[in-house]
Structure 1
Amino acid sequence: MKTVSNPTKERILSAAELLFAETGIATTSLRRITGRARVNLAAVNYHFGSKDGLIDAVYERRLGPVTDEWLANIEALENKYGEEAAPVELIVEAFVLPVARLASDEVRGGRIFMRLLAQGYSEARQYFEKLFSSQYQHVLDRYRQALRKGLPHVPGETLCWRLQFLLGAMTQGLSGGELLKLIEGQADPRDTERAVRELIPFLVAGLRAEAPENPEQRQYDLGDARKVLRSEEPA
């Protein structure tokens, strides 16, 4: 990853990151970004070419170092275990810890960027899918292959679903959101170390769980949950 050294470029990136996280990517105009960064529109066009180019740069600035860690971690596991399956716990730790370090480092974006990352799944799904398929898909494939080897009882399609759940739980769990206070009222959403201690065994247990038997045969009426409950009552 290239290091950002231009002060003007850095101000634009920081302003965009904060505003995207606060108000959303689609609703944040370049005018608002340039106003917060105290630059003119020509500076954005010069450094990034367009709003899409700026969005790419915001994500790359934070995820570039994380990607380097992801790759280094999975390569270390592959070198250590060779053709044998690496422990699932170590694979999950190798994936989660670089993101946790990012979440706890305010200099590198911290919770602001994690909120933006969590927001990206829902607000800009198509853009997010394009971004990950072009720049980060190879990383996810390496971890998926490692998990396939360590979880031979889990069908490939089920593992794909669980990796999606892993990404969502990790991103939301490390974003420092206030939902945790609504659930319990005592846990501190800013406690990243505690979040990691709770998150990793949760993810490992979910990945290891037995796959559902004949999932295509079990149908749910999504229109009324009470029907599902009644269907479980003994005759």
Structure 2
Amino acid sequence: MTTASNPTKERILSAAELLFAETGIATTSLRRITARARVNLAAVNYHFGSKDGLIDAVYERRLGPVTDEWLTNIERLERQYGDDPAPVEEIVEAFVLPVARLASDEVRGGRIFMRLLAQGYSEARHYFEKLFSSQYQHVLDRYRQALRRDLPDVPGETLCWRLQFLLGALTQGLSGGELLKLIEGQADPRDTERAVNELIPFLVAGLKAPAPKPAEQPRLEPAAGTADSEGEIA
């Protein structure tokens, strides 16, 4: 895990994190980052080697402590329940709470980093794949295995899909995004505690839901008035 060891490195990481979250990784130049951090390009090269190295460090700085909490939590559940499966509710809580603490802690990036995390995979899939395969995949596997023990009737492929949905709901739900304002109601997207209280039972219910049977799965037929595979209007 890369950590900030001096003020210059910290300023570079914080500037990059903010700009990546605001304007995207691909469109954020090192020149913009150095201007915001009030350093020269040589400082970026010295501390991170390249823009790729800086991107890795931005993610590692925030996800490293979360990963430590994830491991601590799953190991506690494994000790507590031994040969018995841990309840889904406790597994989900053990996974969600470290991310919620990050989202509510502005000193550790808070919603700025959560916004970056929420939009990052689609834009920076290469970095996500590299980071998760090298540092976080084993943690996700521990949680997947714990859920498999408690949900033996859920097929492995279905569980993989549900874990993907869990990650998406977690990052979007705690990013303080503006989408919630488009939905009629009084929900406050900045209320992290309320978001967690709503999110955990939602995720648990989704994980526990009966696996869909092939005959029950909806078919994605072309919508009326759209072109079919041969260019004819349906």
TM (norm. structure 1) is: 0.92
**Alignment-mate amino acid for residue 94 of structure 1:** A
**How much does 1:214 deviate?**
2.3
- Aligned in 2, Cα 1:225/1:191: closer, same or farther, shift over 3 Å? farther
Q: Deviations over 1:18-61 (max 9, x none)?
A: 00000000100000000000000000000000001000100111
For residues 48 and 141 of structure 1, the distance between their equivalents in structure 2, rounded to whole angstroms, comes to 29
For residues 16 and 106 of structure 1, the distance between their equivalents in structure 2, rounded to whole angstroms, comes to 15
For residues 141 and 74 of structure 2, the distance between their equivalents in structure 1, rounded to whole angstroms, comes to 11
Partner of 2:81: 81
Partner of 2:166: 166
Is it true that 1:192 corresponds to 2:177 in the alignment?
A: no
Indicate the RMSD between aligned Cα atoms, in angstroms. 1.7
- Aligned in 2, Cα 1:2/1:45: closer, same or farther, shift over 3 Å? closer
- Aligned in 2, Cα 1:11/1:222: closer, same or farther, shift over 3 Å? farther
**How much does 1:69 deviate?**
0.1
**How much does 1:221 deviate?**
2.5
For residues 224 and 186 of structure 2, the distance between their equivalents in structure 1, rounded to whole angstroms, comes to 30
Partner of 1:224: 223
Superposed, 1:1-235 pairs within 5 Å as 1=1, 3-214=3-214, 218=217, 220-224=219-223
Q: Deviations over 1:66-89 (max 9, x none)?
A: 000000000000001011100000
Partner of 2:229: none
**How much does 1:171 deviate?**
0.4
For residues 153 and 199 of structure 1, the distance between their equivalents in structure 2, rounded to whole angstroms, comes to 23
**Alignment-mate amino acid for residue 10 of structure 2:** E
Secondary structure at 1:136 match in 2: helix
TM (norm. structure 2) is: 0.92
For residues 12 and 106 of structure 2, the distance between their equivalents in structure 1, rounded to whole angstroms, comes to 17
**How much does 1:3 deviate?**
4.3
Number of corresponding residues: 226
**Alignment-mate amino acid for residue 13 of structure 1:** L
**Alignment-mate amino acid for residue 153 of structure 1:** D
For residues 43 and 175 of structure 1, the distance between their equivalents in structure 2, rounded to whole angstroms, comes to 30
Secondary structure at 2:214 match in 1: coil
**How much does 1:135 deviate?**
1.2
Identity of aligned residues (%): 86
**How much does 1:4 deviate?**
2.0
**How much does 1:173 deviate?**
0.2
**How much does 1:218 deviate?**
4.1
For residues 126 and 46 of structure 2, the distance between their equivalents in structure 1, rounded to whole angstroms, comes to 26
Q: Deviations over 1:5-30 (max 9, x none)?
A: 31000000000000000000010000
Secondary structure at 2:28 match in 1: coil
**How much does 1:148 deviate?**
0.1
**Alignment-mate amino acid for residue 24 of structure 2:** G
**Alignment-mate amino acid for residue 62 of structure 2:** R
- Aligned in 2, Cα 1:34/1:66: closer, same or farther, shift over 3 Å? same
**Alignment-mate amino acid for residue 223 of structure 2:** D
For residues 163 and 151 of structure 1, the distance between their equivalents in structure 2, rounded to whole angstroms, comes to 13
